[in-house]
Amino acid sequence: LPNRLFSSFERLEANYTIDDQGDGDDDGDDSGDKSMSDKGAGTLLGRGAFSSVYLGHEKKTDLPVAVKKISKQYTDTDSFERELRALLHSSKSGGHPHICSLHQCYDDDNHYYLVMDYVGGGELFEHLIRNGAYSEAGAARLVREVASTLAFLHGIGVVHADLKPEN
Which positions are catalytic? 162
Alpha helices in the chain (DSSP H): 9-15, 78-92, 124-131, 136-155
For 22, counting Cβ atoms within 10 Å of its Cβ (0-12 exposed, 13-18 middle, 19+ buried), the class is exposed
Q: By three-state DSSP, how is residue 41 classified?
A: coil
